Amino acid sequence: MAQWRRVTRTLGAASAVGALGYTVDESNSHILSRSLRVFSTGIQVAVDFRQNLKPIERDAPEYKSALQAFNLRTASRLLDVCFQNGGIYTKFGQQLSTFNHALPREFTDTMAKLQDQAKSVSFEEAMATVEQELQRPWREVFPEINETPLAAASLAQVHEATDYKGRRVAVKVQYPHLARQMTADLVVMRWAFELTEWFFPNVQITWMFPEFQAALESELNFVNEKQNSRRIAELMRHNPNVHVPIVYDDISSKRLLVMEFIDAPKISNVEKLKEESIDPSEVARVLCEVFGEMVFCHGFVHCDPHPGNIFVRKNPNANATSKSQLVLLDHGLYRHLDEDFRKTYCDLWRAMILRDSDLLQDCGRRLNAGPFTTYLPLLFTYRPLGSNTPLASKMSLDEREKLTEELRKLQVTDVNGFIQHLPRDMLFVFRTNNMIRALNKDLGGSTRDRFASMAHFAVEGHALYHGATAQQHMSSWLVYYWDRVNMILHLRVFDWALRAIQLVRGEQVTDHRSG
């Protein structure tokens, strides 16, 4: 009874908050209807679970298919809520779609539909926001502007325009009322998280909420996005294969971002790339190199590299190592990796390159991986550390059977606990890796090149901190130098092995190294 009283109080409080918001701003916020949509969907999911899944024993033959069907129905309901409510709900759904290391595929595949289905607001509403931010009529700032948005994301929409200086610009306008809706929406979402854990004790998700809230608050302030774009542009200034559009300070603000307009196809538009004589597999190589450098060397990572946020154009730099150039957009969600984590992550890859089980265990200790340390290589190389097969090839049948038997013994709570206790930086790295892996596959890039690129920058990242320390003492420098040579030799052997596998498979062999 106490648990049901808790549910009743939560639903009642949610309705009260919603009713208050609806009364104060009926025409804009619609908080009541948004809140009720969330909780009515939650009730549907709970009833569905109790009627169709809970009666089935977990070891019953039909349980797996019943669970998959339940997950798909739940994901479809959640998709509808996110799409109907829009705003931060759309952002939340987009975040879920990238957590394929923690969520069933039924959820990630379904929520991925939100990447291209965000709702825009009317041109008049968008221009009202522009005038509020700049304190002058929008026509004075943008004599020419396309009333139809070029893109509509979860928090903003983008219009093509010519500004008062004659510059061709992209105008990113935050949706009105987001700030007002956010407080109530976050309260409702947190309650929904808590109720989910109450109905499904094995699903522990409230620990994710503070990260989501912090990221959202940062993204809603476009000043942060401007600063992120300038920092990554500075860090990557030596690399002519990547470009970050210029932001124009004189007509940008907290809810308005005006930047250099780039006319280029999305990275996922493979046919358009080919039409413009851009090799998709080369684009894949550059993509892996750029993000490998971000993670391992700079510790400053663009954490939302979905196709709409990366354009590709012919490289305007004649001396560049690639004929294609990436254009990075939407710099609202970045992660500044803790320096100790960056070092540990480099060491983790060093352990995988050298097959050093002692170093792997040490990395597991630093990452709070506990008994799951053994499985860390699986998350990045798809095989245990002691596998007899080279990276990028399939595990042997014996290895797969042994691994399957081990994984069967794991409980949902075990996996949840493992993910929950990892450093938050690792979760953002997982997210980014998964998105880059998907893009690499869509572009026709090889697993070999992606692994080799990550390993290459892991060696470089390892050198950045160990090399600086070792230079202080000759003996330490000699140890460091040998360690670096050893890693490079292993990396070359690793690269040759992957090349051999690619040749056997009849795939085109390309050189991933830039020098």
* DSSP states along 333-385: -EEE--HHHHHHHHHHHHHHHHT-HHHHHHHHHHTT-GGGGGGHHHHHHSS-T
407 and 483 belong to one structural domain: yes
pLDDT (mean) for 197-205: 74
CA distance to 324, 339, 355, 357, 360, per residue, from 377 (Å): 32, 21, 10, 11, 9
Q: Would you tell me how many other CB atoms lie within 10 Å of the CB of residue 404? A: 9
User: How much is the mean pLDDT over the chain?
Assistant: 83
51 and 133 belong to one structural domain: no
Q: Is residue 295 part of a domain?
A: no
pLDDT tens readout for residues 168-185: 999 999 999 888 888 888
pLDDT at 470: 47
Positive/negative CA dihedral, 496, 500, 505, 510: positive
CB 218 within 8 A of CB 101: no
Confidence label for 4 from pLDDT (cuts 50, 70 and 90): very low
Q: Residue 138 and residue 144: Cα distance in Å, rounded? A: 10
Q: Is residue 276 part of a domain?
A: no
22 and 82 belong to one structural domain: yes
Reply yes or no on whether the pLDDT at 6 is more than 90: no
Q: Is residue 60 part of a domain?
A: yes
Specify the higher pLDDT residue, 308 or 208: 308
Least confident of 36-45, 211-220, 480-489: 480-489
pLDDT at 310: 97
Residue count (the chain): 515
Give percent of the chain with pLDDT exceeding 70.
78
pLDDT at 411: 65
Q: Residue 49 and residue 58: Cα distance in Å, rounded? A: 13
Q: Is residue 314 part of a domain?
A: no
449 and 371 belong to one structural domain: yes
C-alpha 129: how far from its chain's center? 28
Of 188, 219, 250, which residue sits at a domain end? 219
pLDDT at 503: 64
Of 261, 281, 315, which residue sits at a domain end? 261
CATH code where residue 251 lies: 3.30.200
Q: What is the DSSP letter of 321?
A: S
Q: Please give the residue range of the domain that contains residue 59.
A: 2-116+180-219
Confidence label for 443 from pLDDT (cuts 50, 70 and 90): very high
Give the strands of the sheet with 242-243, arranged side by side: 242-243, 324-328, 310-314
Confidence label for 143 from pLDDT (cuts 50, 70 and 90): very high
CB 259 within 8 A of CB 211: no
Q: Is residue 510 part of a domain?
A: no
Specify the higher pLDDT residue, 455 or 76: 76
153 and 232 belong to one structural domain: yes
Query: What is the count of structural domains for the chain?
Result: 3
Token pair of 471, please?
Answer: 């230079």
Reply yes or no on whether the pLDDT at 109 is more than 60: yes
pLDDT at 412: 61
Q: Would you tell me how many other CB atoms lie within 10 Å of the CB of residue 67? A: 16
Reply yes or no on whether the pLDDT at 35 is more than 60: yes
Reply yes or no on whether the pLDDT at 291 is more than 90: yes
pLDDT at 326: 98
CB 301 within 8 A of CB 235: no
Please provide residue 80's backbone torsions phi and psi, each rounded to the nearest 5 degrees: -65, -40
Residue 80 three-state SS: helix
- Full-model pTM: 0.82
Confidence label for 267 from pLDDT (cuts 50, 70 and 90): very high
31 and 84 belong to one structural domain: yes
pLDDT tens readout for residues 117-141: 678 899 999 999 999 999 999 999 9
Element of type H or E holding 322: none
CB 376 within 8 A of CB 369: yes
Q: What is the DSSP letter of 113?
A: G
49 and 137 belong to one structural domain: no
Q: Is residue 498 part of a domain?
A: yes
**Which one is catalytic: 80, 109, 116, 304?**
304
Reply yes or no on whether the pLDDT at 154 is more than 70: yes
355 and 476 belong to one structural domain: yes
Specify the higher pLDDT residue, 197 or 457: 457
21 and 153 belong to one structural domain: no
Confidence label for 250 from pLDDT (cuts 50, 70 and 90): very high
Reply yes or no on whether the pLDDT at 256 is more than 80: yes
pLDDT at 20: 43
Q: Is residue 406 part of a domain?
A: yes
Q: What is the DSSP letter of 239?
A: -
30 and 106 belong to one structural domain: yes
Q: Is residue 76 part of a domain?
A: yes
pLDDT (mean) for 277-294: 96
Beta pairing partners, 257: 172
CB 344 within 8 A of CB 363: yes
pLDDT tens readout for residues 318-356: 889 899 999 999 999 999 999 999 999 999 998 888 888
Token pair of 124, please?
Answer: 């008049």
Confidence label for 392 from pLDDT (cuts 50, 70 and 90): low
Q: Would you call 304 a catalytic residue per the annotation?
A: yes
Confidence label for 86 from pLDDT (cuts 50, 70 and 90): confident
169 and 191 belong to one structural domain: no
pLDDT at 484: 62
231 and 362 belong to one structural domain: no
